[in-house]
């Protein structure tokens, strides 16, 4: 932030939000315009301007308390009810502004799109600091910070204050438990996972969705997706994992070989390796001989590889260099990762070629943003976001889909949705798509020669085990990252633990032991690796695990198909049990079971006490009752919220966390794929009934407790009897002896019968098989046209026609001040400026034109040059300017400056210098140009001084992110947006008049060309002049005697004939050609694929062809991009299955309305 403040920040005041037609408009004036026009447009009167004035007044009252609101907001507000009441009024006003703007946005946009969007973007940008940071690789990172007066920041602290006061009054949490709750609630991502920013001011805004990553002095920080988690979290967990590997495999790691992929803050990671080398407890007090570390990075994290050996602390650098000099630390940086942009599949192939003991992968589940939640949610507080349980009746996949919660949070989400152009029912949500990492884990750990023995993952989210062959042996959260340790199977741990089972009088084979570990692993919150200590089985934990496993099997046998889960998982521990004991102190279970005969749900809290003797100590039994009581109190509190009757401030959080805990357990694996799917279908149906049923149809829920004592040396049969503790819930006591244990040891749970699986409310539509290969489209020319008709007969349309253009759009579109179509505001401003400068004899300001390819930047420059100087500009391509002398030689050649003078400064005659793609110039040229652009406008070239005071620079770029801050700030900036489909059709019409002897193509024909050419200016214009005109000229030649006129050619170019021509070329009415269809069909067959794989499969050696196709399919929302590569969206699946495909032309330009 300090660095950003040193670089001339831009402050945007609500009094000057946007300039429209030369008039600077305030937010108050924008909202007042809504109030004036809304009665006429919608019949409703809004009070937005008055609400805004009161909002400003209350905000002014809060400003004197800014310091307290930053550093001590929660505690400070607790004792100041008058300030708290003003904040609540402030939040009510914010909610009103958000709600009214969102609800009337579409109506206002139909009247004035610029006016409506400006007001919406201004409200979203209010009290947010937006920062661009240049990374070591030259790319720009986007960051945003919520200021303390932002409504959502104040709302968060108001909610915390209210919640904690409620906890104090209505709960019996201990100080330790209350501290755990507060610590979790104060995490910044618990309240807002994503913020949407617009383009104000004047196109300088970040204009994107940003997920939350961290906080600064309690203020939430949001960053762009590729840098979604940049801290060192996970480094300590990795050292712990390596330490476990060394103790469990003492004969392997000499040296220890590891692979590090995308290591964050390598300085911290290197120090963890140094500490590992300094530990002296391997092989009876010896130190590890050496570590060989290979370091890789995928394309989005290449900057981490560049910083792998950079240190901010010289003492740490000395410690690392000492180990390197002693030949105990070998670091291999895969420099080839910097030459291209390898994806994770490429990195995995490199690790397979260079096997290691442990592979560690950081941050490959790149945070993604959607309107629903197909992946695992980032943590969010149920006070602002609640979840609906959704079950896929075919696959058995269980999802928790977010729904908006309280005001003003819900109104803010809907306002962001409106800016995105989405349905109101959708909620912007950040989630981490980690499922493809399951395939990565199997690629590394499985096979005859695995690339690694262990895989360590550290990320914002982890893959579910449902789709993974490899097994989880450890799971731990460290800061912003979850860590996950996996191995090929449980065989090595089974060999280690089996003797400990034998000491418990339990005899099992190695394979049987592996199955027991597989089935019991999900009952251990942190994984089976916690059952070892210093490389050996921890007998106390083994006894606890055995008791847990046999208790679970006994319950499953008595309650067939019951869902069992561990209450020791951190998520469940915080919200259900609210305790912080370690695993060795307790092994608790929660069971959900539906009694179909009585239509009652049973939720049972189970406490397990295991002993190597023949009895259970009485004091442990009394402790078990206390633990059951704590758990049932939390469960009942959460279930009360599910029944829409919350009992306490924790009811809703407990309900939401109970959903997440049960859904997570329902998707765990048992080792049998078909059984797992059947279980998910049954358990998912139960969760839907339990949490989403209507109050009238919701089944009753019976809660109770069960204490299970497992006596591993008890010869007598077990017992089951009720306890009579002094608590409100019934509690049963179950004692298991050797007779039951022997039975349970060899008992296996079975898949549920078909009748036990809940039936879907609606049967799915029958699935028809479709061929994988794309359809073959004939390439024959269109039917011959009737030579006798004055106009050709209409050719039958090969596909559903495109809906006619909106009637309220004028045709042809009006031309701007330079006789062109589109870019009206930008052109008008530049022309007025040029006219004034020419009339007053002033120099036209240097200007940077920003916009994608084909929006008329070059044409605009030529027109401005003719207007100013009545001559063409001096044109340079940025990639061709390698030396400053290249510019000087051209100026001398044109006679605009003398040859270098021995002394003094040489003047540059009046001229306009145009540098296209200026981001491609070399650093020496950039330095010379920056001097020519500053106030003195004198620069040194080849040892001579040159005065550019009478020269004008017009610069153009399609990638402003590659420009330095100086190039961004010194010239004026004009943004040229992409054309809409209507404007593109108008450009086709205008170009048609020029190349068809003044003939005017019909509106429908121009739309047909623009849409089939994907609204691409160059493609559309070239198609008209180089493809369509010659084709229809040939058709006209066949109809007439002699040479047809261009007007006769134009007469043949009807919308129907143009459509027939494109269909014959294999281009459908959405602009999809054969390559695009093969693209979609390949993804349907392969699920996801990297760019390299797709280019090879589609035979696209030219990267630009691939990029253009992928961008267009993304614009139509048929494909999406993730860390695993590109994949089909659900709309893409529907597109391939529909016959005919849906008409998507309304999307061709909508996703490109801003740049």
Q: How far apart are CA 423 and CA 102, in angstroms?
A: 11
Does the pTM surpass 0.85? The reply is no
Q: What contacts 24+ positions apart, CB below 8 Å, involve 668-671?
A: 668/465, 668/466, 668/522, 669/465, 669/466, 669/468, 669/518, 669/522, 670/518, 670/519, 670/749, 671/515, 671/518, 671/519
Tell me if 918 sits within 8 A of 963, measured CB to CB: yes
Cα distances (angstroms) measured from residue 16 to each of 24, 27, 28, 200: 6, 7, 10, 11
Tracing tokens 């026609």 back to the chain, one arrives at 801
Query: How many Cβ atoms are within 10 Å of 1086's Cβ, its own excluded?
Result: 15
Beta bridge partners of 215: 220
Which position has the token pair 């106009």?
791
Pairing of strands 1125-1128, 1119-1122: antiparallel
Rounded Cα distance between 578 and 175, Å, is 11
Q: Are the C-beta atoms of residues 261 and 359 closer than 8 Å to each other? A: yes
User: What pLDDT digit, counting tens, does each position of 60-78 carry?
Assistant: 998 888 888 877 776 777 7
Q: Which of 1092, 1107, 1127 is nearest to 346 (CA)?
A: 1092
Phi, psi for 616 (deg, rounded to 5): -110, 130
Q: Which whole number is the average pLDDT over 465-490?
A: 79
Residue 47 structure tokens: 């009070």
Q: What are the pLDDT digits (tens) for 1077-1132?
A: 989 988 988 888 888 888 888 877 777 788 888 888 988 889 988 777 888 988 88
**Mind listing the pLDDT tens digit for each residue in 492-508?**
777 777 776 777 667 77
Strands (E), 612-756: 701-711, 719-723, 731-736
Taking the C-alpha atoms of residue 207 and residue 731, their distance in angstroms, rounded to an integer, is 58
Residue 739 token pair:
């007779």
> What does DSSP assign to residue 815?
B
Q: Cβ distance 358 to 242 under 8 Å? A: yes
Name which of 564-578, 610-624, 916-930, 1083-1097 the model is least confident about: 564-578
Distance CA 785, CA 794 (A): 9
Residue 619 burial by Cβ neighbours in a 10 Å radius (0-12, 13-18, 19+): exposed
Question: pLDDT-derived band of residue 1151, with 50, 70 and 90 as boundaries?
Answer: very low
User: Which residue is listed with tokens 């008992």?
Assistant: 747
What's the pLDDT score for residue 225? 52
Tell me: pLDDT of 321 over 50: yes
pLDDT band at 627 (very low <50, low <70, confident <90, very high): confident
Q: Where are the beta strands (DSSP E) in 1050-1124?
A: 1088-1089, 1119-1122
Most confident of 427-431, 543-547, 759-763: 543-547
CB neighbour class for 918 (10 Å; exposed up to 12, middle 13-18, buried from 19):
buried
Phi and psi (nearest 5°) for 483? -115, 150
Structure tokens at 370: 């959607």
Q: How far apart are CA 950 and CA 971, in angstroms?
A: 15
Q: What is the DSSP string of 850-865?
A: E--TTSSHHHHHHHHH
- d(CA 82, CA 86) in angstroms, rounded, equals 6
Least reliable range by pLDDT among 6-10, 774-778, 921-925, 1128-1132: 774-778
DSSP 883: S
Question: What tokens appear for 535 in the block?
Answer: 């490389």
265-312: pLDDT as tens digits: 878 888 889 998 888 666 556 788 899 999 998 877 777 877 777 777
* Confidence at residue 9, expressed as pLDDT on a 0 to 100 scale: 64
Closest CA to 460 of 672, 617, 234, 620: 234
Rounded Cα distance between 69 and 67, Å, is 5
What counts of helices (H) and strands (E) characterise the chain? 40, 38
Give the whole-angstrom CA distance, residue 166 versus residue 151. Answer: 22
1042 Ramachandran zone, left/alpha/beta (phi>0; psi -120 to 50): left
Residue 373 clears pLDDT 50, i.e. is over it = no
Using DSSP's 3-state secondary structure scheme, residue 627 falls into helix
Element (DSSP H or E) covering residue 359: strand 358-362
The residue written with tokens 């009070």 in the block is 47
Mean pLDDT along residues 361-372: 63
| Mean pLDDT for all residues in the chain | 77
d(CA 1101, CA 1142): 30
Q: What number of CA atoms fall less than 13 Å from residue 316's CA on the CB side?
A: 15
Phi/psi region, residue 747 (left: phi>0; alpha: psi -120 to 50; beta: rest), is beta
- For residue 405, is pLDDT > 90? no
DSSP letters, 197-253, are ---TTTT-S--SEEEEEEEETTEEEEE-GGGS--S-TTHHHHHHHHHHHHHH-TTS-
Note the pLDDT of residue 962. Answer: 81
> In this predicted model, what pLDDT tens digit does every residue of 222-242 receive, in sequence order?
887 554 566 678 888 898 888
- For 508-524, the pLDDT digits (tens) are 777 777 777 776 666 66
Nearest-angstrom CA–CA distance, 311 and 541: 41
The residue count of the chain comes to 1155
């Amino acid at each position: 932030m300090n660095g950003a403040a040193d670089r001339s920040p831009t402050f945007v005041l609500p009094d000057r939000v946007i300039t429209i037609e030369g008039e600077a408009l305030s937010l108050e004036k924008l909202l007042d315009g809504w109030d004036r026009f809304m009665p006429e447009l919608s019949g409703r009167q809004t009070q937005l301007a008055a609400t805004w004035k009161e909002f400003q007044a209350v905000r002014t009252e809060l400003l004197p308390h800014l310091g307290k609101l930053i550093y001590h907001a929660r505690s400070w507000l607790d004792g100041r009810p008058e300030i708290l009441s003003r904040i609540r009024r402030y939040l009510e006003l914010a909610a009103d502004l958000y709600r009214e703007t969102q609800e009337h946005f579409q109506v206002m946009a139909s009247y004035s799109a610029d006016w409506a969007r400006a007001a919406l973007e201004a409200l979203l940008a209010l009290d947010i600091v937006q920062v661009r940071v240049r990374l070591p690789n030259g790319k720009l990172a986007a960051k945003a910070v919520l200021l303390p007066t932002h409504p959502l920041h104040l709302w968060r602290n108001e909610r915390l204050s209210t919640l904690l006061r409620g906890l104090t009054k209505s709960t019996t949490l201990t100080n330790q438990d209350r501290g755990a709750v507060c610590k979790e609630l104060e995490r910044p991502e618990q309240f807002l996972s994503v913020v949407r920013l617009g383009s104000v001011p004047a196109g300088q805004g970040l204009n994107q969705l940003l997920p939350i990553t961290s906080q600064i002095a309690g203020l939430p920080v949001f960053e762009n997706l590729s840098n979604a988690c940049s801290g060192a979290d996970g480094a300590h967990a990795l050292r712990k994992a390596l330490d476990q590997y060394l103790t469990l495999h003492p004969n392997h790691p000499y040296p220890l070989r590891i692979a590090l992929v995308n290591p964050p803050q390598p300085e911290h990671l290197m120090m963890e390796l140094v500490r590992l080398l300094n530990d002296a407890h391997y092989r009876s007090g010896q130190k590890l001989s050496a570590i060989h570390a290979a370091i890789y990075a995928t394309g989005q994290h290449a900057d981490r590889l560049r910083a792998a050996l950079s240190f901010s602390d010289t003492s740490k650098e000395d410690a690392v260099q000492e180990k390197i000099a002693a030949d105990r630390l070998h670091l291999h940086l895969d420099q080839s990762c910097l030459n291209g942009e390898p994806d994770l599949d490429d990195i995995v192939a490199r690790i397979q070629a260079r096997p290691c003991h442990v592979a560690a992968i950081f941050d490959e589940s790149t945070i993604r943003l959607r309107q629903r939640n197909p992946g695992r949610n980032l943590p969010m507080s149920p006070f602002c976001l609640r979840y609906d349980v959704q079950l896929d009746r075919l696959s058995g996949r269980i999802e928790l889909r977010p729904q908006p919660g309280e005001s003003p949070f819900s109104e803010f989400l809907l306002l962001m949705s409106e800016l995105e152009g989405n349905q109101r029912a959708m909620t912007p949500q950040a989630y981490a798509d980690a499922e493809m990492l399951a395939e990565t884990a199997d690629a590394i750990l499985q096979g005859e020669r695995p690339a690694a023995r262990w895989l360590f993952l550290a990320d914002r989210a982890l893959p579910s085990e449902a789709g993974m062959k490899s097994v989880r042996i450890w799971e731990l959260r460290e800061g912003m990252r979850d860590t996950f340790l996996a191995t090929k199977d449980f065989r090595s741990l089974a060999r280690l633990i089996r003797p400990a089972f034998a000491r418990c009088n339990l005899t099992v084979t190695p394979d049987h032991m592996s199955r027991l570990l597989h089935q019991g692993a999900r009952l251990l919150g942190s994984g089976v690796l916690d059952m070892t200590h210093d490389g050996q089985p921890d007998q106390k934990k083994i006894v606890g695990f055995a008791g847990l496993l046999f208790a679970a099997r006994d319950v499953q046998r008595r309650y067939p198909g019951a869902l069992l889960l561990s209450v020791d998982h951190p998520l469940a521990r915080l919200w259900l049990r609210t305790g912080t004991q370690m695993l060795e102190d307790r092994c608790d279970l929660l069971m959900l079971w539906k009694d179909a005969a009585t239509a009652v749900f049973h939720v049972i809290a189970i406490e397990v006490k295991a002993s190597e003797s023949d009895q259970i100590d009485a004091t442990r039994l009394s402790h078990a009752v206390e633990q059951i009581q704590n758990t049932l109190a939390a469960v009942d509190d959460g279930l009360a919220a599910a029944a829409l009757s919350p009992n306490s401030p924790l009811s809703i959080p407990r309900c939401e966390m109970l959903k997440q805990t049960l859904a997570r357990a329902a998707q765990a694996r048992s080792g049998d794929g078909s059984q797992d799917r059947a279980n998910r279908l049954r358990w998912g149906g139960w969760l839907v009934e339990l949490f989403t049923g209507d109050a009238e149809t919701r089944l009753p829920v019976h809660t109770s407790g069960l204490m299970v004592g497992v006596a591993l040396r008890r010869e007598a049969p077990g017992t089951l009897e009720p306890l009579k503790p002094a608590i409100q819930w019934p509690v049963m006591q179950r004692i298991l002896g050797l007779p039951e244990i022997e039975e349970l040891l060899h008992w296996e749970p079975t898949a549920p019968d078909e009748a036990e699986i809940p039936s879907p409310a609606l049967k799915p539509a029958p699935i028809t098989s479709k061929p994988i290969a794309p359809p073959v489209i004939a390439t024959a020319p269109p039917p011959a046209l009737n030579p006798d008709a004055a106009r050709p007969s209409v050719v039958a349309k090969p596909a559903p026609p495109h809906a006619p253009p909106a009637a309220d759009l004028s045709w042809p579109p009006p031309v701007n001040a330079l006789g062109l179509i589109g870019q009206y505001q930008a052109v008008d401003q530049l022309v007025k400026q040029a006219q004034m400068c020419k009339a007053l004899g002033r120099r036209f300001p240097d200007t940077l034109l920003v916009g994608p390819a084909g929006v008329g930047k070059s044409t605009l420059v030529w027109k401005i040059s003719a207007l100013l100087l009545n001559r063409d500009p001096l044109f340079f391509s940025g990639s061709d300017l390698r030396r400053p002398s290249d510019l000087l030689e051209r100026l001398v050649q044109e006679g605009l400056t003398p040859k270098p003078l021995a002394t003094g400064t040489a003047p540059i005659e009046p001229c306009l210098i145009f540098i296209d793609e200026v981001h491609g110039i070399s650093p020496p040229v950039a330095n010379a140009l920056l001097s020519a652009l500053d106030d003195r406008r004198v620069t040194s070239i080849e040892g001579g001084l040159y005065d550019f005071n009478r020269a004008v620079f017009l610069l153009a770029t399609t990638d402003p992110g590659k420009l330095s801050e100086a190039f961004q700030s010194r010239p004026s900036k004009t943004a040229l947006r992409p054309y809409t489909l209507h404007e593109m059709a108008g450009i086709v019409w205008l170009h048609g008049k020029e190349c068809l002897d003044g003939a005017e193509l019909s509106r429908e024909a121009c739309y047909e060309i623009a849409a089939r050419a994907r609204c691409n200016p160059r493609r559309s214009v070239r198609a008209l002049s180089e493809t369509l005109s010659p084709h229809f000229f040939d058709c006209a030649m066949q109809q007439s005697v002699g040479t047809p006129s261009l007007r006769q050619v134009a007469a043949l170019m009807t919308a129907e004939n143009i459509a027939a021509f494109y269909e014959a070329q294999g281009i459908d009415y959405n602009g999809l050609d054969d390559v695009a269809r093969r693209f979609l069909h390949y993804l349907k067959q392969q699920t996801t694929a990297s760019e390299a794989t797709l280019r090879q499969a589609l035979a696209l050696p030219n990267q630009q062809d691939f990029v253009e196709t992928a961008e267009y399919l993304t614009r139509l929302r048929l494909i999406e991009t993730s860390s695993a590569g590109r994949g089909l969206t659900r709309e893409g699946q529907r597109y391939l299955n529909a016959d005919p495909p849906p008409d998507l032309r309304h999307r061709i330009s909508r996703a490109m309305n801003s740049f």
